[in-house]
Amino acid sequence: MKPTHKLLFVLCSMLVLGFMYYSSGKLHLFVWGQKSQTNAEFTTTSTTTSTYTTTRTATTKRPDVKPIAARDKHITEMENDINAGRIVDSVYDKQGFLLQLDIKLPPELMYKYGNLSEGACKPGYAAAKMSTIYPKFVKPAPMFLDRNFKRLGKVNNYLPPFGFKTQERVIDGILMETKYYGLGDKLDSLTCKRCIIVGNGGILANKSLGSKIDGYDVVVRLNEAPVSGYSKDVGTKTTMRITYPEGAIQKPENYEKGSLFVFSAFKPLDFKWLRHMVFKEKLRGVEGFWKSVAHAVPREASEMRILNPYFIQEAAFQFIGLPFNNGVMGKGNIPTLGTVAITMALHNCDEVAVAGFGYDMSMPHAPLHYYETVKMSAIKESWTHNISKEKEFLRKLVKANVITDLTRGI
Ligand SMILES: *[C@@H]1O[C@H](CO)[C@@H](O)[C@H](O)[C@H]1NC(C)=O
Ligand SMILES: *[C@@H]1O[C@H](CO)[C@@H](O)[C@H](O)[C@H]1NC(C)=O
Ligand SMILES: *[C@@H]1O[C@H](CO)[C@@H](O)[C@H](O)[C@H]1NC(C)=O
């Protein structure tokens, strides 16, 4: 061989050998990488609390109790799913709720709650449950507007009912007068609050739930639903009554002492009405309301609050999935007050219960409200609400045990 040929031969062999070594290393690294990833998943099963854990649990049924071979097969299938980006689509519904709702809490919370004495209030329970089925949930959202309300970024760009845009000055004036923005010292200082939202449904009648309802720390009632004369079924305690002008109690003697008058605005005109109520001004001209409104609210300004409009926005667009309509009120995109109250409670209560919710359309002769003789059949197709879509959302909450439905109407 000529020296040049010799050199070429050596160079070629080195290149071939080098390439073989390189590619085998790659191959080895690749296989090893896959394996170690799989192992890591097993060892972190009990400590990860991220959405990943819930996602995985939802697609594979507890792989750690299966035989090794089946386990590996499952993992491989799952990894293929993740790689194909299919997981997210198949596990969550359009609103972002997990399709499989019977998901357990993260182990550390199970442990924490398991250690509490029987029947004790579980701190953070409703929000934790909500987060397991709806990972987008962010808990902090104040119940009521305070003097810093303009900092609430999610609502200051929307008109009522989804925000307070154009009403800033009126609201500022009202809040300067009311001066208080919480539930009161006693309730605000509780480390664990149990709340119940009492709906107005006929399903509450004759169930003798009154004393059970009174046992909650916070009892929320809606609009003009009476207590007097119905206390055996609905209780006597009212922490707050959430109301809009057309729904407010009209007879001054029917307002219960010691409860907060919580105002929820659905249209800009509603804030004007509230200003009159707070400043005890005579109401002149009531055009623009869809039915007669109260002319006076026998409450001190210090007993009045403005509900954070974020709960209307979040319930409508995120939880229920009503038409966005450029963020303004339109056909079928306003949640009912009951669902708004539940949304508020998810952000501000540790445990949430409801009673008197749900209509059973298969019983047209059952009463619509617990305090009236109007029949269910009187309910008309609503322009503003979408009862069936709303019920789908409430069903998810009940099914996942985020809320407890005492009357089982949802
Ligand atoms: C739960 O109870 C056990 C046994 O009494 C105790 O050892 C543990 O520290 C408790 N854990 C918490 C989080 O309180
Ligand atoms: C509740 O009981 C009363 C008295 O027994 C009865 O008159 C009324 O119709 C009942 N209401 C409902 C909704 O069942
Ligand atoms: C309620 O929502 C459903 C499903 O999106 C829709 O088909 C129906 O028309 C809506 N009803 C009203 C009253 O907007």
Mapping DSSP to helix (H, G, I), strand (E, B) and coil, where does residue 235 land? coil
Euclidean distance between CA atoms 406 and 241, whole angstroms: 19
Look at residue 178 and tell me whether its pLDDT is greater than 50: yes
pLDDT at res. 382:
78
List % helix, strand, coil for the chain (3-state, nearest 5).
45, 10, 45
Look at residue 26 and tell me whether its pLDDT is greater than 70: no
Atom of ligand 1 nearest to the CA of 114: 1
pLDDT at res. 44:
33
More confident residue, 123 or 23: 123
What would the DSSP string read from start to end of 264-278? --SSHHHHHHHHHHH
Residue in this structure with the two tokens 């790689």, named with its chain if needed: 83
90-108 pLDDT per residue, tens:
699 999 999 999 999 999 9
Look at residue 176 and tell me whether its pLDDT is greater than 60: yes
Euclidean distance between CA atoms 391 and 91, whole angstroms: 21
Ligand 2 site, residue 363, Cβ cutoff 6 A: no
What percent of the chain is modeled with pLDDT above 90? 70
Q: For 112-120, what is the mean pLDDT? A: 95
Closest ligand to Cα 380: 3
Indicate the pLDDT class of residue 49, thresholds 50, 70 and 90: very low
Q: Which protein residue has the closest C-alpha to ligand 1 atom 3?
A: 115
Euclidean distance between CA atoms 10 and 171, whole angstroms: 87
Ligand 1 site, residue 117, Cβ cutoff 6 A: no
Indicate the pLDDT class of residue 221, thresholds 50, 70 and 90: very high
Six-digit token string for 374 = 């109007």
- Report how far apart, in Å, the C-alpha atoms of 325 and of each of 290, 322, 331 are: 22, 9, 9
Cβ–Cβ under 8 Å, residues 198 and 226: no
115 CA → ligand 1 middle, Å: 6
Q: Which helix (H) or strand (E) holds 90?
A: helix 87-91
pLDDT at res. 54:
33
Give the number of other Cβ atoms within 10 Å of residue 274's Cβ. 26
Cβ–Cβ under 8 Å, residues 49 and 106: yes
Q: Which amino acid is at 172?
A: D
Ligand 2 pocket mutation pick from 200, 204, 206, 234 by most atoms within 8 angstroms of CB:
206
Closest ligand to Cα 94: 3
Lowest-pLDDT range of 56-70, 72-86, 366-380 = 56-70
332 CA → ligand 3 middle, Å: 7
- Report how far apart, in Å, the C-alpha atoms of 307 and of each of 42, 149, 263, 373 are: 46, 11, 6, 30
Give the number of other Cβ atoms within 10 Å of residue 384's Cβ. 15
pLDDT at res. 7:
54
Atom of ligand 1 nearest to the CA of 112: 13
Lowest-pLDDT range of 70-79, 113-122, 254-263, 337-346 = 70-79
pLDDT at res. 2:
55
Lowest-pLDDT range of 75-79, 113-117, 184-188, 217-221 = 75-79
Ligand 1 site, residue 272, Cβ cutoff 6 A: no
Ligand 3 site, residue 389, Cβ cutoff 6 A: yes
pLDDT at res. 198:
98
116 CA → ligand 1 middle, Å: 9
Ligand 1 site, residue 115, Cβ cutoff 6 A: yes
Assigned superfamily of 110-405: Glycosyl transferase family 29 (3.90.1480.20)
Euclidean distance between CA atoms 53 and 47, whole angstroms: 9
Q: Which of 302, 225, 306 lies closest to 258, judged by CA?
A: 302
Q: Is the dihedral of CA 294, 298, 301, 302 positive or negative?
A: negative
227 CA → ligand 2 middle, Å: 17
Ligand 2 site, residue 360, Cβ cutoff 6 A: no
Atom of ligand 3 nearest to the CA of 381: 13
